[in-house]
Structure 1
Amino acid sequence: MSLSERLLEHGIRLPRYTQGDAKIRCPQCSHTRKHKADPCLSVTLDTEGGAVWKCHNCGWSGGVGAHDHDDYAPRPRSRTKPKPVKPAFTPNALPEGVIGWFGKRGISPATLDAAGVSYVKTWMPGCDQGATIGAIAFPYRRGGEVVNVKYRTSDKRFKQEKGAEKVFYGIDHIAGCKEILIVEGEIDALSLREAGFSNVLSVPDGAPQQVRDGEIDPDEDAKFEYVWNCRDELASVEKIILATDADAPGRALAEELARRLGRERCWRVDWPTANDAQRKDANEVLVGDGADVLRECIASARPWPIRSLHDADDFRDEVFNLFRHGRQRAHSTGFRSLDTFLTIRPGELSVVTGVPNSGKSEFIDAVMVNLALTHGWRFAVCSFENPPDEHLSKLVEKHIGTPFWSGPRPRMTEADLSRSLDWVQEHFTFIRADDESPTLDWVLETAAAAVMRYGIKGLALDPWNELEHRRPSNMTETEYVSACLSKVKRFAAQRGVHVWFVAHPAKMLRESGKLPVPTLYDISGSANWANKADLGVVVHRVTDAATPQTEIFIRKCRHKSVGKIGSAVLAYDPATGRYSDLPAPLPAQPARHWSERDE
């Protein structure tokens, strides 16, 4: 058995099987995580043909040997951290020029003296080897001892003591505090102390440029090491006010701190504006607006947003918009007789079913083509039963109404085909499982990329049974289907995309020689197909009509503004795969006496 096969027995599928390290999604926990795309499983292939792995989220680990039935014990790396270096710090008096520099920033000598701010001669980045320059020194104390020192020059060069412990600036000031403030720099911390706040911390390393993706591993979180080092002092704090800078790095810092400290106990400060420009930080407010305004900003801090937890005010604008303009308008399917029962609105899930060869995929294609023609929608199509060339030929037929293949009617010309393919290119994107297992998570991740890149408004997923399913052993099929459909509904709502999900019914018995019209509860696997759908559509061929016809049943309609329960019969043209409304019946003419008839 090959190494890839042995790994696959554990659910591990690597992009390559060459010596070295790889990071992939964990088959044990990734499907349950908020950040499902985060590659939390580390896999190492050694020189002897074996492999070991460990998940940094759930802790799952193991290994396989170079030969069948060989087992490896995972070999974790040694992470012994060196003991922090304690700096030899001797405070010096501040020169008058430095005191004046702080004075221009609203910070008094008393505040500087209480904080132990000093001035030293030291080597700084940019200096020649052995050269020194004057720098302001901010001592970082913990337990009454100086554990680090941060140096700053007038031209904004910074350094800290090499090998010293990373902690928050001012960590000794929050002992016993239930409420604290965190700012982005020492001068902002001193500004708040000037305004009367003693429970102020500053981060030692400034702000990151952007929020980091993925889960947080404290052992690897070097940029925010000071958070973990101070977790004992922070554990009893109930309210943390994040007063970072009003720029992109400052917002990223606030988000990163909230992730680590717990959003439920974090609040955020909005700095005021002056002359149409927002104040950047606490010191700008102190200098430009005064200590009273700075105190008001802190008092007006707002709770940090928590996913799925909302105040009524969070929806105020949406309620007024609904009051003034009504519900978001749903779009026509392109079929007059069907619009009475079914219209299409972004953000909803349509479950489509029908017996084999009833035209489920053809019907979805027809609706998508109509929406593209009428409203300019763009779509992502994930169809496992239609090869791309065959599928494109069907879309082209529906677009121009001329057969792709030779037959009783003239087929389209190559010029027609080329023009129509150009149109399809503008409106359709295809999701193909070229080198990945087509799981639902993978499809939704790819569709999310299509939203960002192409602005798709619709997603066709056809069909359910062709996806690769990794149902946990402790989950029933009903629970698994419910969880999967919930993911699809969240995707639709969050991305503003209408999703058509095709699911086949279980095998049905003929009645009087005919297959009955299925219901949503006939779909194989779970009643949740009916329960979770916003729209439930059944496509069924009419077999006893004189001309090809298809009946579209609307079995479920969650919102009356979108449609209602009922059905409509559409004409079907087998040559082009097009649907159309049936001709309206001619009105009955009153009978006339024979003497009134035209001669």
Structure 2
Amino acid sequence: MQLIADNTNFEDYFDEQQNDAALVKPASEWCEQVIDRFHGANSQSSWQSIGWNKTNGLFDLRPGEVTIWAGVNGHGKTTFLSNVMLNIMNDHGAKVCLASLEMKPAVSMAKMARQAIGTGQPTVEYIRAFHKWTDGRLWIFDKVGKVAPKRMLGVATYVRKELGIDHLVIDSLMKCGLGTDDYTAQKDFVDSLCAIAMDTGLHIHLVCHMRKGEAETKAPDKFDVKGAGEIADMSDNIVIVWKNVRKTSKDEKDQNSDPDAYVRVAKQRHFEWEGSWAFWFHKDTQQFLEFQGGRPTCVTLDAQASAFH
């Protein structure tokens, strides 16, 4: 884990100046990029799986996109996203930066350490080995609380330009210095995130809250994302994490068979699949398991680390 200090002048990395005349080009200039999308480094075979067998090929992460991770407060969206980031670091060697503006870095890392080892009580040796393993893979923007919108945009540009980060998690939109009812500012902020993602290849994961519905037992959809309607319109993907609150009202036998959560891909602009998966939540490890009775997994850091489990 490497901390990104809050005293960097990130706004210097966000520059909106453009030469519009130079942007008008013949369409044939994109021929090689189109070939690359079908047959090269950016083809579907290079997309990054989020880490479960049943999600492979249905929802994978592509460079240069903005994904909204939405859910009702307390339904596990931050925990699920932590699980995803751990998976892509482990499976694909992705470089990730967490801007967890609602949670202290030590709390975020404690959650991820439990997910990594697959037990509720990681040993001191494993914790040390895990944090060493994150070097070169995981960075944290060391700030808790509100951040001015332009500053957050500067962070996004900085981590891509200076650190070569593949994925930036911003948790959450409500901490980015935007008024609850200032829909124009929210729209402009998300629009700028999309521009940074598209221009640099950074994949930006933006955590958003949901509007309160009629009842918590009713699963929300993409139109329930809190804030400006353009947030859902402009983003490339929308993933909704919903805790199965109806499970607690059933008897013990039915509770065990019912999933604990549903994760729904409510929008995927650049791929045709939309749908939901059921997950079972393992509380001790904070892992989301893809089938009932599944066993938590462990990130094997090296030959010595496997003995820490």
| TM beyond 0.5 | yes
Which amino acid in the other structure matches residue 525 of structure 1?
Answer: G
What letter corresponds to residue 314 of structure 1 in structure 2?
Answer: E
CA–CA distance in structure 2, aligned partners of residues 437 and 385 of structure 1:
9
- How far 1:398 moved relative to its partner? 1.4
Q: Residue 489 of structure 1 is aligned with which of 175, 187, 194?
A: 194
What is the CA distance between 1:422 and its match in structure 2? 1.0
SS of the residue aligned with 2:48?
coil
Q: 1:556 maps to what in 2?
A: 267
Q: Which residue of 1 aligns with 2:4?
A: none
Aligned with 2:214 (options 494, 505, 509): 509
Asked whether the equivalents of residues 10 and 158 of structure 2 are also in contact (C-alpha less than 8 Å), the reply is no
The aligned counterpart of 1:209 is none
Is the contact between residue 334 and residue 371 of structure 1 (CA under 8 Å) also seen in structure 2?
A: yes
Partners of 1:521 and 1:529 within 8 A in 2: no
1:75-474 to 2 correspondence within 5 Å? Answer: 264=21, 306=22, 308-322=23-37, 324-325=39-40, 327-328=43-44, 329-339=46-56, 341-403=58-120, 411-433=121-143, 438-469=147-178
Shift of residue 340 of structure 1? 5.0
TM-score by length of 1: 0.42
Structure 1 residue 459: deviation in Å? 0.7
* Ranges in structure 2 where 5+ consecutive residues have no aligned partner: 1-6, 248-254, 295-309
Task: Determine if contact 1:395/1:424 at 8 Å carries over to the other structure.
Answer: no
SS for the counterpart of 1:553 is strand
In structure 2, relative to structure 1, the CA distance for the partners of 1:428 and 1:364 (3 Å cut) is: same
Whether the 8 Å CA contact 2:261–2:278 is kept in 1: the answer is yes
Secondary structure of the structure 2 residue equivalent to 1:500:
strand
CA contact (8 A) 2:99 2:170 kept: yes
Alignment pair present for 1:537 and 2:239: yes
For 1:559, give the aligned amino acid.
H
Aligned pair count? 274
Cα deviations across residues 417-471 of structure 1 (Å, max 9, x unaligned)?
Answer: 110111123321111337x961222122123222233211001111111121279
Task: Tell me the amino acid that sits aligned with residue 521 of structure 1.
Answer: F
Offset of residue 485 of structure 1: 1.3
SS of the equivalent of 1:357 reads: coil
CA deviation profile, 1:223-272 (whole Å, cap 9, x unmatched)? xxxxxxxxxxxxxxxxxxxxxxxxxxxxxxxxxxxx9xx884xxxxxxxx
Specify the alignment match of 2:299 in structure 1: none
CA–CA distance in structure 1, aligned partners of residues 191 and 266 of structure 2: 20
Which residue matches 1:574?
283
1:333·1:342 contact (CA, 8 Å) conserved in 2?
A: yes
Q: Give me the whole-angstrom Cα distance separating, in 2, the residues matched to 1:415 and 1:498.
A: 32
Aligned partners of 1:469 and 1:529: how far apart in 2? 13
Query: Which whole-Å CA distance do the structure 1 matches of 2:132 and 2:10 have between them?
Result: 37
Question: 1:34 maps to which residue?
Answer: 16
Matched residues in 1 for 2:55 and 2:90: separation? 17
Structure number with larger C-alpha Rg: 1
- Offset at 1:353? 0.8
Structure 1 residues 574 and 483 mapped into 2: Cα distance closer, same or farther (>3 Å)?
same
Give 3-state SS (helix, strand or coil) of 2:212's partner: coil
After TM superposition, give the deviation of residue 584 of structure 1 in Å.
9.2
Report the secondary structure of 2:178's partner residue: coil
CA contact under 8 A between 1:341 and 1:554: conserved in structure 2? no
Q: Which runs of 5+ in 1 are unaligned?
A: 1-14, 16-22, 26-30, 36-258, 265-305, 404-410, 586-599
Distance 1:499 1:440 in 2: 15
| 2:241 aligned counterpart, secondary structure | strand
Matched position secondary structure for 1:395: helix
| Deviation (angstroms), 1:365 | 0.7
Cα distance in 2, alignment partners of residues 369 and 416 from structure 1: 15
> Separation in 1 of the partners of 2:127 and 2:293?
32
* Equivalent in the alignment of 2:203: 498
> How far apart are the structure 1 equivalents of 2:214 and 2:20?
55
Q: Distance in 1 between matches of 2:225 and 2:179?
A: 19
Q: CA RMSD in A?
A: 2.9
Structure of higher RCO (CA pairs closer than 8 Å, 6+ residues apart):
2
C-alpha distance in 1, partners of 2:187/2:179? 14
Structure 1 or 2: more helix by fraction: 2
CA distance in 1, matches of 2:131, 2:50: 22
Q: Is the 8 A contact 2:113 2:127 kept in 1?
A: yes
- Quote the Cα distance in structure 2 between the aligned partners of 1:546 and 1:462: 31
TM-aligned CA deviation for residue 552 of structure 1: 0.3
CA contact (8 A) 1:380 1:447 kept: no
CA distance, structure 2, for counterparts of residue 393 and residue 24 of structure 1: 27
> Which of 171, 184, 192 does residue 479 from structure 1 map onto?
184
CA deviations on 1:44-75 (whole Å, 9 max, x unpaired) are: xxxxxxxxxxxxxxxxxxxxxxxxxxxxxxxx
Q: 1:419 to 1:343 in 2, by over 3 A?
A: same
